[in-house]
Structure 1
Amino acid sequence: MPVTITTLPARSDNYFFLLHDEESGRTALVDAPETAPIRAALEERGWGLDEILITHHHGDHIEAVDDLRAAYGARVTGAAQDAHRLPPLDRAVSPGESFDLFGEKVEVMDAPGHTVGHIAFHMPGLRALFSADSLMALGCGRLFEGSPEQMWQTLQRLAALPEETIVYSGHEYTAANAAFALTIEPENPDLISREQRTREARAAGRATVPSALSEELATNPFLRAGVPQIKASLGMPDASDVEAFAEIRRRKDRF
């Protein structure tokens, strides 16, 4: 049986992801925002925890790592370049490397911008990208440490993955991101439709994460900064793609 992925909420707006291999009974966690909901989810399903994958060093993604490692003996994987500010790593990985998780290949992708040491995990066999706070549903992470150039390059790398890739991002920010995206592309029919679906989903208490990469390519203004119509709407028809991206990011920060 294939590895299954379960998306679950924590804190006020975080998500964590449980990957479970039915054949072996093993379970992995991507990011660890809060101990109690993660333990509750595992106990409800009768699962242990064998692996923890970390995307970046922010507390709302690593807070529960030490508790969960102590409780379950999980092996912790994270970025070698960020090891100095992550919980102790059992497996330090670098962009361009890959490793096996329950028989599935995991590709480590460089994803700086939100932080300089941010990585993403791409699992091509599952058509899954765990992007945390780099590429997000209708958005991207704030540039707390990295530059617009770094984040734009990150987004270009992620956008080049197969369009059927499913994007598992770190937060439930989609409604606010949709409202902002409409200020950039108010006449985009795909965006108008997605904004309506997002409002309906949130009103019903449903998550808007994960999302399809194909949908992000059609509606996410941060991925679409190179589109000539968007540059024109920004009043920057002759801008480079990264200049247009930086302007969209500045507007979102003030939104």
Structure 2
Amino acid sequence: MSEQQGAPDQLPAGKSQGGASATYQVVLYELENFQGRKVELTAECKDVTEKSLDKVSSVMVESGPWVAFERQGFSGEQFILEKGEYPRWSTWTNSHSGYFLMSLRPLKDGAEHKLQLFEGPGFNGRKMEIVDDDVPSLWAHGFHDRVASIKALNGAWVGYMYPGYRGCQFVFEQGEYKHWNDWEAATPQIQSVRRVRDMQWHKRGCFTSPAPAPAPAPAPAPPAPPAAPTGSS
């Protein structure tokens, strides 16, 4: 990931924000549905092929959270892995741009979450502050597709290209992101954001996207018109 100004130094695995003790444990499987060769990790891995895996197609997160990447060296699209089971690629992303993982590392989080979004680069333009909340759509707050700079003041966050936590994911750890290139995005497009669920602070752990609203029931068919009277013979 690009270096962000104001971001704290990388903490060693096993430690979380604020100095509190935390554990990180994940099991990687080469094939879907937890099949094939497997490797257990408690610290970062820059290249899963160094662990005798050709790729990672399913994951079990015992404790975390973790951020995984589609390419070696913590590069490419990012994927958040909170506590839970991920039997295939569609359980950690819906962007359809990557189908397996090649590197991952523990992700720092905290008990509190505070995020500031800016419409322009360099923290200019329209501003929105989010405190301990998830926002499934930024449109209602005046951000029509464009978020060009971000300050993550507390906790870890995930931004998505589309409303409803869909599309490519971008991870924001505590620090300043003056330009969308700082979070390795090609465009300043973010339309939904949410907090990362760390089991140390959030007992549920894994984030579950809300189910879509049921479709409205079809309107009843209008009554048939009355039959025309029959003429007398």
- TM-score, normalised to structure 2, is 0.28
Larger radius of gyration: 2
Greater share of residues in helix = 1
Report which structure shows greater RCO (CA 8 Å, sep ≥6).
2
